[in-house]
Amino acid sequence: MKKIKSDIIIENGVVLTVDENDTIIKKGAVAVLDGKIIGVDEEATIKENFSAAKKIDAKEGIIMPGLINTHTHLAMSLLRGVADDVSLNSWLRDYIFPLEEQFMDKTSVYAGSMLSCAEMALSGTTTFCDMYFFEKEVGRAAEKIGIRGVIGEGIVASGKDEEKIWQKKKELTTELVKKFSRSKLISIGVKPHSPYTCSGKILQKAKKFSKERGLLYVVHLAETEEEFSDFKKSEGLTPTQYLEKLGVLDGSTLAAHCVWMEDGDSDIFKKHEVKISHCPQSNMKLGSGIAPVVKFLKKGIIVSLGTDGAASNNTLDMFSEMKAAALLAKVNNQDPQAFSAKEAVHMATIKGAEALGKKAEIGSLKVGKKADIIIVGLDKPHLTPIYNYYSHLVYCANGTDVETSIVDGRVVMLNKRIKNADLADIMKKANFIATKIKKGAQARIT
């Protein structure tokens, strides 16, 4: 029998497919051609039916879908650690916003995004969803490293200049759509920052524009008690009810954080098929609260995972995010069975794909899907012995255990080495900008 040609065969590993049946192939392999998966099966069957230009030995590690980080501000890796142990309001108003205004230009955003994309590739994240400014530079960095991204200009617009700001952001978003129209890796979203930094009219205009272009609509929502209380006082509504009243909630809306929610708010999410990006570590670090994730899941709401920016986390390690999500849900509900390791893995993979509107393309290892694949090495003391693969990924593993990352069928990181960029140079440039920040903002850095 003539074998089917493939570009890559990943063999000698445990294949965690994250498909509809959560199929695990103990001695499995995956065949890839032209950026897509063309075979997922027992290793013997793959070898019998496929030939390969290149073979990658998983060394008995876990072969699984790449992780999907649905809420980031990548360039903020340059501000990692500048303002720790303060409230969200102080963190934003007293530190982050002034530092961004002074130091975050196109050059800085590109350098910070390169640093973050390298960090993600090394730790197994193959897709991210980013909201910031100078997003063209974010997309450029992602393409350079070779990972997938949904990017969009953060919109902050209220008051007398809101229409002027909106028109500029609309123009920038249109430019992004044109710039990356042929990209295999980059897609665009419309991203108003929040209901407290954008007027109701701007939130509605952004939604209308996203619908016209078929783009994802991303917004921070109900992150703090202060935000929740302010809307109750000013509007007589929760932030969620306020967005429903504006008509901006639907199946193409991704809401980040969603910590402060009344019982009826989750019903609103379910009714409109709104998706959630849960950011447990950022929420904990800023003292924002605990999102009612178990309640969301019981209602059938799609919940994905995000790290938020590295300035409020302070890493982009999705393995630590999975662990935090699982443990926080357990202790918040005082029930060790409230949230399973398997659910955490789903949130970081297939649910992330669904939250971004990409379930048909990524998030699981199935024939026909894009080949976004990582290999997690198991030959380490903290991963020995092993009884349950999901448990190990969530409670034992960390980003440094990832050996190889493949995106769209291209090897981005192999044996812990970035393929498409000089990591030392990336860190050197980030440190150079950090030196300028330290010199120019000593009074603001804690």
The predicted-structure confidence for 225-238, as pLDDT tens digits, reads as follows: 999 999 999 999 99
Q: Are residues 21 and 87 in the same domain?
A: no
Tell me: do 121 and 189 sit in the same domain: yes
Residue 432 lies in a domain: no
Residue 239 Cα distances to 14, 149, 231, 242, angstroms: 44, 28, 6, 5
- The proportion of the chain whose per-residue pLDDT surpasses 90, expressed as a percent, equals 93
Residue 310's domain comprises 67-355
Claim to verify: residue 101 and residue 187 sit in the same structural domain: yes
Q: Are residues 110 and 237 in the same domain?
A: yes
Within this chain, do residues 25 and 85 fall inside the same structural domain, yes or no?
Answer: no
Q: Which of 355, 384, 400 is the last residue of a domain?
A: 355
pLDDT grade for 95, boundaries at 50, 70 and 90: confident
**Co-location of 233 and 177 in the same domain:** yes
CA 331 to chain centre: 24
- Assigned domain for 439 exists: no
Q: Which of 94-98, 166-170, 171-175 has the lowest mean pLDDT?
A: 94-98
Q: Which two tokens stand for residue 146?
A: 């070779």
Q: Which band of pLDDT confidence, cut at 50, 70 and 90, is reported for residue 357?
A: very high
Indicate whether 435 belongs to any domain.
Answer: no
Quick one: 120 and 212 in the same domain?
Answer: yes
> Does any domain span residue 280?
yes
445 domain-assigned: no
Q: Are residues 52 and 88 in the same domain?
A: no
Number of domains in the chain: 2
Residues 185 and 332 in one domain: yes
Q: What's the pLDDT tens digit per position in 114-159?
A: 999 999 999 999 999 999 999 999 999 999 999 999 999 999 999 9
223 and 333 share one domain = yes
Partners of residue 153 on adjacent β-strands: 132
CATH code at position 155 = 3.20.20.140
**Whether 266 and 413 share a structural domain:** no
216 and 239 belong to one structural domain: yes
Give the number of other CB atoms < 10 A from CB of residue 271. Answer: 12
28 or 446, which is more confident?
Answer: 28
Predicted pLDDT at 265: 98
CATH number at residue 395: 2.30.40.10
Asked if the structure places residue 117 within a domain, the reply is yes
